[in-house]
Structure 1
Amino acid sequence: MTPLRPAHIAMFSIAAHGHVNPSLEVIRELVARGHRVTYAIPHIFAEKVAETGAEPRPYETTLPSPDDDPEAWGTELVDNLEPFLTDAIHALPELARTYEGDEPDLVLYDITSYPARVLARRWGVPEISLSPTLVAWDGYEEEVAEPAQAQLKASERGRAYLARFTSWLAENGIAQGPDSFVARPPRSLALIPRALQPFADRVDGRVHTFVGACQGERAEQGEWERPAGAHKVLLVSLGSAFTKQPDFYRECVKAFGDLPGWHMVLQIGKHVDAAELGEVPANVEVHRWVPQLAVLRKADAFITHAGAGGSQEGLATATPMVAVPQATDQFGNADMLQGLGVARHLPREEATAEALREAVLALAEDPEVARRLSGIQASMAAEGGTRMAADLIEEELAKVRAERS
């Protein structure tokens, strides 16, 4: 096969770990294959992007920072949606200027980066969504989008949001409505395993391809060693955003502190001080951040918020999980994991020390859970991951070049 001529590929994302991290290994692989990759990203993530070999194209964002209190995102549906539209309207002119005279051959974008799709159509180049979470299925509109629309239309603010989004799309020559624009890309690579996708048999395989976890080795994040005498290891992490949960962390310490044979690694994030946990037993180590994948490779159980990243890392390392979701898609992921028979969905209000301990011990000692995890781990490896994603992106490039020649 003749090697593909190098291209200029532009990636667009927002300043959120859960949206940037899934794409990084794909970007690193494309750079390694000789492509020039530019990556439009807010300044706070520019250095992280540069480590892949891509060229950061920093832009100003109006979205809350990853360092902000998670309460900045509000509690209502419109609170969660409105900031992305406001940011898109603000960022589009700057991003257009940034790429003027250096338009790419192909656009990759995170699902929250609305300006990327507008620009791809303006430039007349292919666009591929790199989805870090579930994708739409046949029936999604009736089952998910329409109820959400009804909720938005029930308030003046929600109606104003929908009207503003529709108007912005029309001003940029896009006839789609907001739901279709966000949920129905022309081509999509789902950076999650098929096992985590609801109604996977109803997903259009001509549009969406599940390439599974694109995790890489992450050696730059450091290693973690199991302490001597630790028979079993438990990791507790609520990810990078919704971590302001001191009461929950205290329940975890109560559940596993001094539990014979168990060692707990507790990640508390930036919004909780370790002193708030009180006296911590010797078998518990507390950190603001840990190299999660490195710990999971040696862990026997995982208490997680069930974000898309953490969920697939648990599956990829065949680690039984107790899912305590905090927000957004985490509730659905928790149900999916429980349905696979590899996790227990424990609602936040039920996550007492007793319930957490009972769930972890039951999962860690169940040979059927281990068998199911092993099977999912093998199926994920077969999905292809990073190399498959890069192959499919190059396939789209080759296709458009053939059409233009």
Structure 2
Amino acid sequence: MYRIAFFSIYAHGHTNPTLPVVRELTCRGHQVRYYSFAPFREKIQAAGAQFVPCDSYLPPAPPDLERRVGRDFAALVEMITQTLLAMDGPVGRDLAQFQPHCVVSDSLCFWGKLWAAKLACPYVCSTTTFAFNRHTAKLMKQTPGQFLRLLAGRGRIRRCMAQLCQAGYPVKGLLSLIENDGYTDTIVYTSREFQPLADTFSSRYAFIGPSVPELTHAPRSGGDRQIYISLGTVNNRSRSFYRACLEALRSWEGVRAVLSLGGGCRPEELGDVPPNVQVLPQVDQLAVLSQSDAFLSHCGMNSVSESLYLGVPLVLFPQQEEQGMVARRVQELGAGVPLPAPTPAAIHQALSLVLADPAFQHSAQHISEGFRAAGGYRRGADKILEAAMGSAPLP
């Protein structure tokens, strides 16, 4: 039996894909301790892991957090640095006492990577977005405003790196934290086919496909076509967008829809809801997608992966650049179309195109087959255990 420590950032999209892997490890008899945050406690414990709360180490969230997400990288680095320095004593001592045979941490969770180095412990990077290196970095299309913000934030990032060095962490620079070298064991929750420039990554990168648990949902029923709409759990407060969706769907014969607000606002704030639309604060996304024929999505990696895993084509409405990169890949592979404007007419036209042309569904199904062949959470667990074999197992 091995002891395995998991770390992730405060984000559903970065935590959820790891949970089937955790469940597989605990089902095989290994001990997992997951350092995370209160919203994920129940899910982590349900996967069989020991939950260690880290909420008290988070810095206060700025009032404009939603605006900054995906736009102010320096603010993200500052938040991660402050969290790591606050955790350094208590969590570091707990981790040293646990004596893990392997540390698994999210690609943005710098503290897991740095603690693994401090403990001279095998390390596996968990990458819930596309894998990142100097080649894929060139695919990130920045607006002039984003580029200026990045330049303006360079001094703040350098100060963060200096703080980490002063605290005893062997930091060479930001790039050394966010980019794995060719010798770092890395799990990527997509297939080699879906990963852009996959041939630029070494064999230490395991492209395992989406980490989706076995589904017990019934197959899609006949009758009306179903559309699912969601902007995820972060940038989801656009009431004007939701109202435009309701108008696009109003009186659309033979089509029903599920609109998930993700906690961004309340259903009653949207006014008159047509009878063919169900507006809900939150949904079981896999269950809804299993009954859907098209998904209008913000293009978060987790949402897109679940949609394509189930063979559901997309209308693409990214809210930040990382999501834009995912959207472009979906479009390149023929499994979706971009939404040119958040207006009722544009929404209706884009959804109509995806529903009417079987080529989109065929492309989504082809990607799904590649995802399923990649190995999923079982292969992810195998990769972690291979890394842990460098340490002696428990008796």
Do they fold alike, i.e. is TM over 0.5? Answer: yes
Pair 1:398-2:384 in alignment: no
In the alignment, the residues of structure 2 paired with residue 153 and residue 386 of structure 1 have an alpha-carbon distance, to the nearest angstrom, of 35
The structure showing larger relative contact order (alpha-carbon pairs under 8 Å, at least 6 residues apart) is 2
User: Helix, strand or coil for the counterpart of 1:161?
Assistant: helix
In the alignment, the residues of structure 2 paired with residue 145 and residue 311 of structure 1 have an alpha-carbon distance, to the nearest angstrom, of 19
User: Helix, strand or coil for the counterpart of 1:196?
Assistant: coil
Deviation at 1:144, TM superposition (A): 5.9
Pair 1:276-2:269 in alignment: yes
Matches within 5 A, 1:42-61: 42-59=37-54, 60-61=56-57
Pair 1:161-2:152 in alignment: no
Deviation at 1:153, TM superposition (A): 6.9
Deviation at 1:88, TM superposition (A): 2.0
Q: Which of 85, 91, 111 matches 1:89?
A: 85
In the alignment, the residues of structure 2 paired with residue 330 and residue 61 of structure 1 have an alpha-carbon distance, to the nearest angstrom, of 28
In the alignment, the residues of structure 1 paired with residue 347 and residue 150 of structure 2 have an alpha-carbon distance, to the nearest angstrom, of 39
Task: Tell me if structure 1 keeps the 8 A contact 2:23–2:47.
Answer: yes
Task: Tell me if structure 2 keeps the 8 A contact 1:10–1:40.
Answer: yes
Pair 1:385-2:391 in alignment: no
Residue 181 to residue 399, structure 1, CA distance change in 2 (3 Å): same
Deviations 1:260-296 (A, max 9, x none): 0000100012231212211111100000101111111
**Range moving further from structure 2, 387-396 or 24-33:** 387-396
Pair 1:182-2:175 in alignment: no
Residue 71 to residue 143, structure 1, CA distance change in 2 (3 Å): closer
Matches within 5 A, 1:106-117: 106-117=102-113
In the alignment, the residues of structure 1 paired with residue 93 and residue 141 of structure 2 have an alpha-carbon distance, to the nearest angstrom, of 33
Deviation at 1:401, TM superposition (A): 4.8
Letter in 2 for 1:176: K
Number of aligned residue pairs: 388
Deviation at 1:122, TM superposition (A): 1.3
What is residue 21 of structure 1 aligned with on the other side? 16
Letter in 1 for 2:191: P
Q: Which of 31, 36, 43 matches 1:36?
A: 31
Give the TM-score normalised by structure 2.
Answer: 0.90
Deviation at 1:385, TM superposition (A): 0.3
What is residue 199 of structure 1 aligned with on the other side? 197
What is residue 315 of structure 2 aligned with on the other side? 322
Deviation at 1:328, TM superposition (A): 4.1
Deviation at 1:101, TM superposition (A): 2.1
Deviation at 1:117, TM superposition (A): 1.3
Task: Tell me if structure 1 keeps the 8 A contact 2:219–2:290.
Answer: no
Q: Which of 209, 213, 227 matches 1:216?
A: 213
In the alignment, the residues of structure 2 paired with residue 145 and residue 233 of structure 1 have an alpha-carbon distance, to the nearest angstrom, of 33
Residue 173 to residue 284, structure 1, CA distance change in 2 (3 Å): closer
Matches within 5 A, 1:240-279: 240-279=233-272
Deviation at 1:15, TM superposition (A): 2.3
Deviation at 1:399, TM superposition (A): 4.4
Task: Tell me if structure 1 keeps the 8 A contact 2:161–2:171.
Answer: no
**Range moving further from structure 2, 159-168 or 240-249:** 159-168
Letter in 1 for 2:260: Q
Letter in 2 for 1:107: V
Residue 121 to residue 302, structure 1, CA distance change in 2 (3 Å): same
What is residue 362 of structure 2 aligned with on the other side? 371
User: Helix, strand or coil for the counterpart of 1:194?
Assistant: coil
Q: Which runs of 4+ in 1 moved over 3 A?
A: 71-77, 140-154, 223-227, 399-402
What is residue 337 of structure 2 aligned with on the other side? 344
In the alignment, the residues of structure 2 paired with residue 346 and residue 171 of structure 1 have an alpha-carbon distance, to the nearest angstrom, of 47
In the alignment, the residues of structure 2 paired with residue 190 and residue 379 of structure 1 have an alpha-carbon distance, to the nearest angstrom, of 14
Give the TM-score normalised by structure 1.
Answer: 0.88
Q: Sequence identity, in percent?
A: 28
What is residue 119 of structure 2 aligned with on the other side? 123
Letter in 2 for 1:244: R
Task: Tell me if structure 2 keeps the 8 A contact 1:70–1:244.
Answer: no
Deviation at 1:365, TM superposition (A): 1.6
In the alignment, the residues of structure 1 paired with residue 104 and residue 228 of structure 2 have an alpha-carbon distance, to the nearest angstrom, of 33
Residue 261 to residue 68, structure 1, CA distance change in 2 (3 Å): farther
Task: Tell me if structure 1 keeps the 8 A contact 2:125–2:186.
Answer: yes
Deviations 1:76-133 (A, max 9, x none): 3323433222222222223102223222110000112111112111111111011110
Deviation at 1:179, TM superposition (A): 1.1
User: Helix, strand or coil for the counterpart of 1:115?
Assistant: helix
In the alignment, the residues of structure 2 paired with residue 286 and residue 41 of structure 1 have an alpha-carbon distance, to the nearest angstrom, of 30
Pair 1:305-2:283 in alignment: no
Task: Tell me if structure 1 keeps the 8 A contact 2:261–2:282.
Answer: yes
Pair 1:235-2:228 in alignment: yes
CA RMSD of aligned residues (A): 2.9
User: Helix, strand or coil for the counterpart of 1:48?
Assistant: helix
Deviation at 1:72, TM superposition (A): 6.4
What is residue 289 of structure 1 aligned with on the other side? 282
Task: Tell me if structure 2 keeps the 8 A contact 1:106–1:397.
Answer: yes
Deviation at 1:173, TM superposition (A): 4.2
In the alignment, the residues of structure 2 paired with residue 122 and residue 149 of structure 1 have an alpha-carbon distance, to the nearest angstrom, of 34
Deviations 1:49-79 (A, max 9, x none): 11111001112232577x9972464853323
In the alignment, the residues of structure 1 paired with residue 215 and residue 64 of structure 2 have an alpha-carbon distance, to the nearest angstrom, of 25
In the alignment, the residues of structure 2 paired with residue 32 and residue 162 of structure 1 have an alpha-carbon distance, to the nearest angstrom, of 43
Letter in 1 for 2:389: A
Q: Which of 319, 322, 331 matches 2:324?
A: 331
